[in-house]
Amino acid sequence: MAKAKTIYFCQECGHESAKWMGQCPGCKQWNTFVEETVERRKGAAEKKPILGASPVILADIEMKREERFTSGFPELDRVLGGGIVPASLVLVGGDPGIGKSTLLLQVCQKLSAQQIQVLYISGEESLQQIKIRAQRIGSFTDSLFLLCETNLDIIDGVLRKEKPQVVIIDSIQTMYSENISSSPGSVSQVREATAAFMQLAKGLGITIFIVGHVTKEGVVAGPRVLEHMVDTVLYFEGDRHAAYRILRGVKNRFGSTNEIGVFEMREQGLAEVKNPSEYMLSGKPKDASGSVVACSIEGTRPILLEVQALVCRSNFGIPRRTADGTDTNRVNLLMAVLEKRLNLRLSECDAYVNIAGGIKMNEPALDLGIVLAIISSYKERCIDEKMICFGEVGLSGEVRAVHMAKQRILEARKLGFTTCILPKVSLDAQNNVDGITLLGVENVQQAVRKIL
């Protein structure tokens, strides 16, 4: 008998190798290689492609009228680029337990309320367990169908027969094809299943949402392995201890990426957060040093958030620096700028920077907020609570322009802020808004002189 051919796959990024390696050359993760048999089983019938194989002229392609349809969640529609695109394949990734199944079951509820035929295929929960979840969420109409199945061939048959408009696959790591001998959740199984769903989505005109668990260290293949195969990649993230969840677009063939949708996990499932700024600022302390409101743009939407810093004398030779919700290296760099340009003796201090609410933001426009929070804590002086700031800080301490200044100012005014510190170059007539005073600054020194 011929020896079965095996290949080692990185379960994190799908990198292939003929032999086992400790560290993946692709994604630099350790211990992620798993041996998989790649041979197709004998007698496994090759599936006929559904798509026709004859080329067509671009002008001859007919456009269908109804381009997109709503998911019933405006926040999800925004992340998808304005609604669900028919016949698209959408990957929803996230840590286990973050709420992917809940979100998609609620999408099913909203779609079925619009009389759209939906099929929810679960490989993780029994029908009874789904029903328990559904009862928490609310009432459902009769156009939602459920199926507990993990065998790709059976699912293939069901989809061809029933032709629902929307299908949810929960999760891709539980699906398996009999043509491949490796176990469900391995890179080859996950890839095979995704390719099969892509064919079904395009061939039958079904929109398919695939759930993919983000995995720690290579037990099952993570969603990164299939990111390049699908049309849209969304990540559902959030702090397990906080109630809010953020849905982030990472790849979108039909719209912009980096849009976010904000949700809150409640007793009865997920609820949309219509005004994230208000939500993020809800716990801001009054008259506290080291706290300032900054503005970040996520996609097309400005979000105000509180930047907190705690600077205190270090007890050890090497000061401690941590940053939660933003890049630690960036914080270190900004502290070096302050040390050099403002002669602050920060090298003797521990510093902790935190974006309140557990949200992760890395926009350079937050620089000015981080810098002012650090100085405010260092000098033990409070910053006016009706003031917001934004601007990128350069290595010479200069405050540089950032995009979409007007939107940020309007968002600040909407939430009742009266002063805005911004880069001087953004001080032009078109940015002038009634009810909010704009203070343009060229560098960090000027900003400090103006407000502290």
Contact footprint for ligand TYD (CB under 6 A): 94, 96-102, 133, 136, 265, 267-269
Q: How far is the CB of 441 from ligand TYD (least distance, A)?
A: 44
The residue of the chain with the least Cβ separation from Mg ion equals 101
Please, which residue, 75 or 398, has the CB nearer to ligand TYD?
75
Taking the complex as a whole, the smallest distance from the CB of residue 99 to Mg ion amounts, in Å, to 8
**Shortest Å, Cβ 307 to ligand TYD:** 29
175, 123 Cβ separation under 8 angstroms: yes
Chosen from ligand TYD, Mg ion, none, partner binding at 267 (C-beta under 5 to 8 Å by type): ligand TYD
Give me the DSSP letters along 340-362: HHS---GGGEEEEEEETTS----
- We find the least distance from the C-beta atom of residue 226 to Mg ion, in angstroms, to be 17
Length of the chain: 452
DSSP code, position 23: B
Would you say 78 or 213 has its CB closer to Mg ion? 213
Report in angstroms how near the CB of residue 95 gets to ligand TYD at its nearest. 7
265 binds, among ligand TYD, Mg ion, none (CB under 5 to 8 A by kind): ligand TYD
Phi, psi of 166 (to 5 degrees): -130, 135
Residues at the contact surface with Mg ion, assessed by CB under 5 A: 101
The answer to whether the bond into 171 is cis (omega within 30° of 0) is yes
Report whether 356 contacts 284 (CB < 8 A): yes
Q: Name the token pair of 381.
A: 């002086």
Closest approach of Cβ 283 to ligand TYD, in Å? 20
Dist CA 243 CA 262 (whole Å): 11
> Which residue's CB is nearer to ligand TYD, number 136 or number 450?
136
Binding partner of residue 102 among Mg ion, ligand TYD, none, CB cut-off 5 to 8 Å per kind: ligand TYD
Nearest-angstrom CA–CA distance, 18 and 1: 21
Partner in contact with 136, chosen from ligand TYD, Mg ion, none, beta carbon below 5 to 8 Å by kind: ligand TYD
Rg (alpha carbons) of the chain, rounded to whole number: 26
b/e code 364-376 from CB counts within 10 Å (16+ = b): ebbbbbbbbbbbb
Q: Whole-number minimum distance, CB 171 to ligand TYD, in Å?
A: 8
Output 176 or 378, the one with its CB closest to Mg ion.
176
Q: Which is nearer to Mg ion, 101 or 377 (CB)?
A: 101
The site partner of 251 among ligand TYD, Mg ion, none (C-beta below 5 to 8 Å per kind) is none
Smaller CB separation from ligand TYD, 109 or 308: 109
Q: Which is nearer to Mg ion, 101 or 291 (CB)?
A: 101
Residue carrying structure tokens 């301490």 = 397
Selection from ligand TYD, Mg ion, none that 391 binds (CB < 5 to 8 A by kind) is: none
Classify the C-alpha dihedral 287-292-293-298 as positive or negative.
Answer: negative
Nearest CA-CA partner of 265 in 130, 101, 91: 101
In sequence order, which residues have a C-beta less than 8 Å from that of residue 45 and are 6 or more positions away? none
Residue whose C-alpha is closest to residue 191's, from 226, 153, 235: 226
CA count, 13 A, side-chain hemisphere, 279: 18
Instruction: Give the nearest distance from C-beta 170 to Mg ion in angstroms.
Output: 6
Nearest CB to ligand TYD, comparing residues 85 and 175: 175
